[in-house]
Structure 1
Amino acid sequence: MAEPRRIDLVVVHCSDSPFGDAALIDRWHRARGWRGIGYHYVILNGYPDRESYARRRPKFWLDGVVENGRPLDRIGAHVRGHNRNSVGVCLIGRSQFTQQQFGSLVGIIDELKKDHHGLEIAGHYELLRPADAPKTCPNIDMDWLRGLVGC
């Protein structure tokens, strides 16, 4: 039996779209030639599709729902140079996230901390290499988040 992979980092992302879910991101990533969704978790904002967003008809019961993406035992495809040891979590949205989304994000991190001691948290933008295009993803104050979760 293979050794479980070492996880010491959670990388927080945003979808940079006002709507979406894990299935939509899976389609986007496959269209880029990937084998499927690169994130391990996707946290919904209540707008799972273009229609609900265009009509301004949120599905409130979906706000903060956590959808599974790539299984945790598989290496993600979400941040070059850091996939092997990390878990990727994507918040649906651009820069304004809901309390429910933050609550779910904190819950994911708290659960991961139980099995992965010394876990660190980073925003995608904090892990860019010099040759990478500039990013602000996930467009949240990561110091605030680290203080919130004690990492």
Structure 2
Amino acid sequence: MRKITKIIVHCTATKAGREVTVAEIDGWHRARGFRCIGYHYLVNLKGEVFAGRPEAEIGAHCLGQNAESIGVVYAGGLAADGTPADTRTPQQETALRELISDLRKRFPSATVHSHYEFAAKACPCFDAGEEYVEM
């Protein structure tokens, strides 16, 4: 297994209420020239967690940070008018908390970050480092 120093949280930049699948993201990423989906986990609107790229493989989700990170994405991140917004459902909030907690137990030296810390984006539209600081 590779060394994991960061868990980076993302949003799919889709409007609130729009479901997204691993297969759909895989298609988006392949269209951009990626080998496959760049995230390691997707949390859908119902709070179900789906595996994307295997953890043992370097992700393709955060330029300059992929080698030692795990990428987690939730479906959403845009309000109905298309502006950035924290659109997590209660089920997503619970599932993200459980997923991040599990990842922190398995990678205790890893810190939690929002994608916007490394890119000029609003993603994931909330402060993941602050929200998950106690984990």
Counterpart residue identity of residue 121, structure 2: K
**Residue 63 of structure 2 is aligned with which of 69, 80, 91?**
80
Tell me the CA shift for residue 146 of structure 1. Answer: 2.6
3-state SS of paired residue (1:13): strand
User: C-alpha distance in 2, partners of 1:143/1:119?
Assistant: 11
- Hey, what does 2:100 align to over in structure 1? 109
AA matched with 2:105: K
Higher-Rg member (1/2) = 1
110-119 vs 10-19, which deviates more? 110-119
Distance 1:143 1:10, change over 3 A: closer
Which string of whole-angstrom CA distances, capped at 9 and with x for unpartnered residues, describes residues 48-100 of structure 1? xxxxxxxxxxxxxxx10111100000000000110000000001001211111
1:10 maps to a residue whose letter is I
Distance in structure 1 (CA, Å) of the matches to 2:130 and 2:114:
11
Give the letter aligned to residue 83 of structure 1.
N
Runs of at least 4 residues of structure 1 off by over 2 A?
A: 141-144
**CA offset at residue 35 of structure 1?**
0.5
Per the alignment, in what secondary structure is the counterpart of residue 53 of structure 2? coil
Q: Gapped runs of 5+ residues in structure 2?
A: 78-84
In terms of mean alpha carbon deviation, does 76-85 or 11-20 score higher?
11-20
Aligned to 2:43: 43
- TM-aligned CA deviation for residue 107 of structure 1: 1.0
Would the aligned equivalents of 2:59 and 2:70 in 1 still touch at CA under 8 Å? yes
> Secondary structure of 2:91's partner?
helix
3-state SS, counterpart of residue 84 of structure 1: helix
More strand by proportion, 1 or 2?
A: 2
Letter in 2 for 1:22: V
Q: Does the 8 A contact of 2:113 with 2:128 survive in 1?
A: yes
The 8 Å contact of residues 112 and 129 in structure 2, kept in 1 or not, is answered as no
**CA pair 143-5 structure 1, distance change in 2 beyond 3 A:** closer
Compute the TM-score of the two structures, normalised by the length of structure 2.
0.86
**CA distance in structure 1 between the partners assigned to 2:40 and 2:105 by the alignment:** 17
Q: Quick one: which amino acid aligns to residue 64 of structure 2?
A: G
CA RMSD of aligned residues (A): 1.2
Seq. identity, %: 40
Runs of 5+ unmatched residues, structure 1: 46-62, 129-133
Q: What is the aligned residue count?
A: 124
- Displacement of 1:112 in angstroms is 1.2
Which residue matches 2:113? 122
Residue 92 of structure 1 pairs with residue 83 of structure 2: no
